[in-house]
Chains A and B, each alone.
Chain A
């Protein structure tokens, strides 16, 4: 996943190097002309045009690079990678005693390798509430941009008063 964003960053680095080189060359030429006393009105006008052109080219290149970065971001939106977890079961609520229970993901899902996490906003609980007698649910996870690994987390089971009555360990392989 990182490689595409490295591409965007590499693009900016290459552009910065190019611009620095171009401006340095022009400054060097101007300094050489001043030192050698070759600077005359014709040379000045020619250099001024060149500098003006370079200035506009610099702006155009920066704009272009920004569009490239935008394209990279848009690409992420075009290809969603959605996975569904295995079913999980609550221990509580097999009877009507608890009434309808609400399910909440208690924090992000953390990668087994410990270096990545899927935010709560990328996870949908299906269903997000359990009527009496129903005990199973699953996670629908937007894993776009995340590596193919196991991820773990916890789902809080809340009663009608919003109090946690159980925590269920959950996981998914993205």
Chain B
């Protein structure tokens, strides 16, 4: 079992308590995302159901098991902050948890090395009393106050001071709708500042191969290729318990992500997105960016992460799932754990492979045809993904007409069809009425109708294809053409020095 998995179980137990006692939502909603609106209630059962669709034997430990184990597991750095967060909420609803003597178990799981302070009065009762005291911590927005007060009074471990600036699970949630999608993606934005490190120190941990060392949530983050645009493809495996993921007994997700590393005037930025060459069974949107900027004496860290599972979780539930998994907090770990603890070392981490930002759009068609440097593992693609890629990257051979023009043509065409069929029907009906209909008339009418039908159907289907192209060109990549107008290379331009990685 892992600390991540145990914290996930605690968050799950809180959700079950709220589900069975809706009046708790107001209290829990002060600290956890999605409960104030009620939208997140029930996320745990929904997520575990989703998890078992992909791993039937997967299970989450009971809250009792998790709390018992946490009591014997020291906490450190960001995980200590997450533990305080989870247990401060659990303690507030302890009477409704399905755990015998829950309050004592929570107290013990909280009073561990890395959380408890050095003062003589940092007893289990006093430390849990601090984090459940509404005068100090009545809302997640009081997080900074809680940590600063706890460290100042030596009830909390002094190493937590650096984590005062970043509230756990505080990402601002935005439902991102895309037309035609069944359900929205959830986007979480976080921002915090710290003066414990500098931007050059922090950026040494942005390269993803550093992430598994930063967090046990990342089992694997390995570069498996590069693209002609100069971006790198990484194979990512995240799990609630990397040690037991092999036997499918816990939630695990695997993805191939394209990463770009950009050097800015006062810092560094990483952007990533699911590699379209690899079909993902669980996740269909996973993209975001992480920025580290030096602003005066402080480092400002901004992150955005947009995600959608292949399951209709609502946005509030997604925010809570991200919180419980710890999926969106890599920036806090990289900067507040890794960079701070290695601030004195100039060789810790790895050199940020940043380049200048790209100055022109590289068409996907070019990357598909010129993709290179792939390992055999990375080159495995399903037929479905290849088909999807071909559909996505097929460039029009002629200028795409505006959707409105195509629509007008379709209407004109349909009017003609209706007129012609009406004329045919009128002629046939007149002849039938006058009993002058002859077999030759019928055969002639058939042949006309057949040729018209084939011709009109083909034309209308052709218009449909034009419409589809217009819709795709006008809305899916609205700026691609615009981007090209400002370039000198156009679609055939190969990756320039401005987009090549500084180191390979």
Q: Which residues in B have their C-beta under 8 angstroms from that of A115?
A: 229, 361-364, 367
Cross-chain contact A112 with B289 (CB below 8 angstroms): yes
- The B interface, classified by DSSP as helix, strand, loop or mixed, is mixed
A126 interface residue (CB < 8 Å to B):
no
A122 interface residue (CB < 8 Å to B):
yes
Which has the most chain B C-beta neighbours within 10 Å: A15, A52, A55? Answer: A55
Cross-chain contact A114 with B229 (CB below 8 angstroms): yes
Cross-chain contact A75 with B179 (CB below 8 angstroms): yes
**Within the assembled complex, what's the spacing in Å between the Cα atoms of A59 and B464?**
12
Cross-chain contact B262 with A112 (CB below 8 angstroms): yes
| Shortest distance between the CB of A41 and any CB in chain B (Å) | 7
Residue among B302, B361, B437, B495 making CB contact with A116, cutoff 8 Å:
B361
**Number of residues on chain A facing chain B (CB within 8 A):** 69
A35 interface residue (CB < 8 Å to B):
no
| Shortest distance between the CB of B395 and any CB in chain A (Å) | 13
CB within 8 Å for A150 and B271 given contacts A1-B476, A9-B391 = yes
A140 interface residue (CB < 8 Å to B):
no
Residue among A4, A51, A69, A71 making CB contact with B467, cutoff 8 Å:
A69
| Residue ID in chain B nearest A153 by CB atoms | B357
Q: Which residues in B have their C-beta under 8 angstroms from that of A66?
A: 407, 410, 464, 467
Q: Which of A78-86, A93-101, A131-139, A157-165 contacts B (4 or more CB under 8 A)?
A: A78-86
- The A interface, classified by DSSP as helix, strand, loop or mixed, is helix
**Within the assembled complex, what's the spacing in Å between the Cα atoms of A169 and B391?**
35
The residues in B between 279 and 310 inclusive whose CB is less than 8 angstroms from any CB of A are: 284, 287-289, 291, 293, 300, 302, 304-306
Cross-chain contact A15 with B358 (CB below 8 angstroms): no
Q: Which residues in B have their C-beta under 8 angstroms from that of A48?
A: 428, 442, 445-446, 449
**Within the assembled complex, what's the spacing in Å between the Cα atoms of A11 and B410?**
16
**Within the assembled complex, what's the spacing in Å between the Cα atoms of A152 and B360?**
10
Cross-chain contact B442 with A41 (CB below 8 angstroms): yes
Give me the interface of A with B, judged by CB distance under 8 Å. 1-9, 12, 15-16, 19-20, 23, 27, 30, 41, 44, 47-48, 51-52, 54-56, 58-59, 62-63, 65-66, 69-76, 78-79, 81, 86, 107-108, 110-120, 122, 145-150, 152, 169, 171, 173-174
Can you give 7 A-B contacts (C-beta < 8 A)?
A9-B468, A44-B446, A52-B449, A74-B179, A148-B287, A169-B264, A173-B304
